[in-house]
Chain A
């Protein structure tokens, strides 16, 4: 059985590489019974969304009052 510590590593790695079938299965099973790891999955997912929103905010093209090529 996966420990919570290992599960947090897999949650994170799942955001950076494709987990194997066995890893995915083990992680899903663990998440069903572990509230702390489900919260961790939520937190890391939120971090990804927030980072992506931060990037988009900074990369947005300059305001175009004359309405150039959209």
Chain B
């Protein structure tokens, strides 16, 4: 495959790549840059690919590495490292659900037929809004775990945080998302 053929094939992949990067980097310019770099790297290796799907898989692997590099870089930023107001709010959201003995004040009800939501376009808008409204660090760890599909050990290593810190961030992120989806989608409140 020539570079021209490849760039044509990958053109319709680009918007999806940008959305993929944007939700995780939370920075439009950084997302565009990461996608651009990944596409350029693919173009340079065009002759290696038999078809568009092999190239797409490869581009995603490159993009994924670029996102992890960026997270690693941000992880060293002392400002970003410190817990912030958003995380404190997420922590109280968690604590306030329980009484002094650790029992539910108001047990959450089950969602009825949540799988049906996956077919609805509007659900995905709410899903992305909820992820975007998480504080930076829990969102990053959740994204690495669930959207990039990394193992939690790998995440701790990349970000230089302890396993228990990693589990706490994942747990708070998940309960934050549960709360957001309950309010904004499953409408139980």
The range of chain B's interface size is 35 or more
1/0 contact string of A38-70 vs chain B (CB within 8 Å): 111011101111111111011111111000111
The 8 Å CB contact of B145, one of A16, A42, A50, A69, is A16
Contacts of A60 in B (CB 8 A): 16
1/0 contact string of A17-32 vs chain B (CB within 8 Å): 1000000000000000
A68 touches B53 (CB 8 A): yes
Tell which of B52, B54, B117, B145 has the most Cβ of chain A within 10 Å. B52
Contacts of B107 in A (CB 8 A): 4, 34-36, 39
Interchain CA distance A40-B134 in the complex, whole Å? 18
Interchain CA distance A9-B172 in the complex, whole Å? 9
Contacts of A62 in B (CB 8 A): 9-10, 12-13, 52-53, 56
1/0 contact string of B13-34 vs chain A (CB within 8 Å): 1001101100000000000000
The range of chain A's interface size is 35 or more
Q: Which residue of A lies closest to B163 (CB)?
A: A17
B114 touches A42 (CB 8 A): yes
B146 touches A4 (CB 8 A): no
Check: B45 CB closer than 8 A to any chain A CB: no
Closest 6 CB pairs of A and B: A36-B107, A3-B102, A61-B53, A51-B146, A68-B51, A5-B102
By a beta-carbon cutoff of 8 Å, the part of chain A in contact with chain B is 3-6, 8-9, 12-13, 15-17, 34-40, 42-44, 46-55, 57-64, 68-70
Q: 6 A–B contact pairs at CB < 8 A? A: A3-B101, A13-B171, A15-B170, A34-B104, A43-B108, A50-B118
By a beta-carbon cutoff of 8 Å, the part of chain B in contact with chain A is 9-10, 12-13, 16-17, 19-20, 50-54, 56-57, 60, 97-98, 101-104, 107-111, 114-115, 117-118, 124, 127, 145-149, 152, 163, 166-167, 170-171, 174-175, 177-178, 181-182
